Structures are given as C-alpha cells and as structure tokens.
Amino acid sequence: MGIRTFIEGWPVYRQLTGTDPLGRGAAAQSPRTAELTARTETADSMARSVCPYCAVGCGQRVYVKDGQVTQIEGDEDSPISRGRLCPKGAASKSLVTSPLRQTKVRYRRPYATEWEDLELDVALDMIADRVLAAREETWEDVDSEGRPLNRTLGISSLGGATLDNEENYLIKKLFTAMGALQIENQARI
C-alpha cells in the first residue's frame, strides 16, 4: 500500500475531504466493514434441505464453506414455510455443529463404571454377533398348534420418526427378515 492510499484510507482524511465532515458515516467505515458480505454469498455450495425438528416440513437452505456448514436458513421458495423457521429450525446450524455432538463410538462393558473407545467396524461386528446370538437364544419356530411363528421376541427396537423413509424401509425390511417383530417408534408415543 502506498502512502497516498494509506492516508486516503484514513477516516479522518476522508472526513476532512469527503462528504461526511462529522465522520459519522461514509468516512467512518473501516476497510473491514466495507468488505463485509453475507457468508451465504461466498459459500462453496448450498443444499436444499428440510428442518429436522417437527413435522411441518419447513424448507431449509444449508450453506457450506470448506466442508463446514456455515449457515442454515429458511427456504424462501417453500410453499409450506415461505422461508420462515421457528427457534428450533433456526438453531439447526448449532444442532449439527454442536461441540457436544458425539463423533466417536463409545462402549460400556457389562458392570463397567466408565466408557471405553471402540472402533466402528469392531462395534458393528460385535453387534452383528449379539443380534445372531439373541435371535438364536429366543427363536420361536411354531406356536403350540404347529402354525409358523418365524420370530424372535428377544430383540427390540425403538425409533424412526426422526429418520428418513429410506432408512425406515431398510430397518423394517431387515428386522422382518431377521424375524424381529418388536420394532416401534415415536408414533406410538
């Protein structure tokens, strides 16, 4: 920066020479302020999404910069929400970027008093083993009259109303094939 531009950038210089003699407006604007722009404008991408809280189904626009969510706001085009959000929907960025979010698998052994770490693949494998064992232990082939039951009542599941249809479809399909009847979700609660 040359000295001339440096001085011309000075508020007091602008105040003395410009249209803002009191230095309360144009002359007082700092270079940082002058360069301010909405971060939605400089985002790398924007995803059309839907609010994850209640079932009104408000449209959301999710702005991303450098792989991070930088803003979530209402989708003005939505005929349901017309760009508006309630406090929960408006807090969606804080929800998905919360420092309290768990991002590592945690494991509690029987009778333990503390959590331990566990690799995701190992956890998945352990769960698969336990599902098969529980199923084996509690399997019911037929009822007392010999009619088919094909099931286990040794496994339960609860949840689904916060999940996607595609996810619920796979859950129901897999559990049904496993013979695990006892699936329930928030709709019953």
Partner 1 sequence: MAEAHPVGFQWVMEAKRRGAKVFHVDPRFTRTSALADTYLPIRAGTDIALLGGVVRYILENGLDFREYVLSYTNAATIISEEFVDAEEGDGLFSGFNPETGAYDQTSWQYAGQEGESGSMDTSDERDTAAGLRHESHGMPIPGQVLRDESLQHPRCVYQILKRHYARYTPEMVERVCGIPQEKFLELARAWTENSGRERTGALVYSVGWTQHSVGVQYIRTGAIIQTLLGNIGRPGGGVMALRGHASIQGSTDIPTLFNLLPGYLPMPHHAKHPTFDEWADSIHHPGQKGFWGNARAYCASLLKAYWGDAATPENDFCYGYMPRMTGDHGTYQQVLNMIDGKVKGYFLLGQNPAVGSAHGRAQRLGMANLDWLVVRDLFMIESATFWRNGPEVETGEITPEQCRTEVFFLPAASHVEKEGTFTQTQRMLQWREKAVEPPGDARSELWFFYHLGRKLREKLARSEKRRDRALLDLAWDYPTQGPLAEPSAEAVLREINGFDVATGRPLGGFTEARADGSTAVGCWIYSGVYADGVNQAARRKSRHEQNWVAGEWGWAWPSNRRTLYNRASADPDGRPWSERKKYIWWDEEKGEWTGYDVPDFEKTKPPSYRPKAGTSGPEGIAGDDPFVMQADGKAWLYAPSGVVDGPLPTHYEPAESPMRNPLYRQQANPSRKVYPDAINSVNPSPPEEQAQIFPYVFTVSRLTEHHTAGGMSRMVRPLAELQPEMFVEVSPELAAEVGLTHLGWAHLITGRAAIEAKVLVTDRLTPLRVEGRVIHQVWLPYHFGYEGLVTGDSANDLIGITLDPNVLIQESKVGTCDVRPGRRPTGRALREMVEDYQRRAFMSPDRHAPVVTPPDPGTSDAS
Partner 2 sequence: MLPDPNSLAGPLDPAPEAGWSDAPPRMGFFTDTSVCIGCKACEVACKEWNDVPTSGLDLLGMSYDNTGALTANSWRHVAFVEQPRPAGHRTPPFAGNPTDGSTSPSSAAVGATTGNPVGTEPGEPTGSPEAAARMAAGPEFLGMPGTQPPGRATGPENRSDFRWLMMSDVCKHCTHAACLDVCPTGSLFRTEFGTVVVQEDICNGCGYCISACPYGVIDRRKDDGRAWKCTLCYDRIGVGKTPACAQACPTESIQYGPLEELRERAAARVATLHERGVPEARLYGHDPADGVGGDGAFFLLLDEPEVYGLPPDPVVTTRDLPKMWKKAGLAALAVAAAAVAAFVGGSS
Q: Find the binding residues for partner 2 in span 84-143 (CB under 8 A).
A: 84-91, 93-94
Measured CA to CA in angstroms, residue 42 lies from 48, 94, 155 at distances of 17, 20, 49
Q: Which residues of 41-70 are buried (b: 16+ CB within 10 A; e: fewer)?
A: eebeeeeeeebeeeeeebbbbbbeeeeebb
Q: Which residues of 10-27 are buried (b: 16+ CB within 10 A; e: fewer)?
A: eeeebbeeeebeeeeeeb
Shorter beta-carbon distance to partner 1: residue 7 or 122: 122
Measured CA to CA in angstroms, residue 153 lies from 79, 109, 127 at distances of 44, 24, 17
| Binding mask of the shown chain, residues 31 to 50, with x at each position contacting partner 2 by CB under 8 A | -xx--xxxxxx---------
What CA–CA distance (Å, rounded) separates 19 from 31? 17
Footprint of partner 1 on residues 112-171 (CB under 8 A)? Answer: 112-113, 115, 118, 120, 123-134, 137-139, 141, 143, 147-171
Using rule CB under 8 A, residue 81 touches partner 1: yes
CA dihedral 57, 60, 66, 68 (to 10 degrees): -50
AA identity, residue 66: D
Shorter beta-carbon distance to partner 2: residue 23 or 160: 23
Residue span binding partner 1 (CB under 8 A) among the ranges 7-15, 17-25, 26-34, 81-89: 81-89
Using rule CB under 8 A, residue 79 touches partner 1: yes
34 three-state secondary structure: helix
Question: Which one of partner 1, partner 2, none is in contact with 73 (Cβ closer than 5 to 8 A by kind)?
Answer: partner 2
Question: Which one of partner 2, partner 1, none is in contact with 43 (Cβ closer than 5 to 8 A by kind)?
Answer: none
What CA–CA distance (Å, rounded) separates 22 from 14? 10
Shorter beta-carbon distance to partner 1: residue 29 or 49: 49
Using rule CB under 8 A, residue 23 touches partner 2: yes
Using rule CB under 8 A, residue 52 touches partner 1: yes
Residues of this chain that bind partner 2 (CB under 8 A): 3, 7, 10-13, 15-16, 18-30, 32-33, 36-41, 71-74, 83-91, 93-94
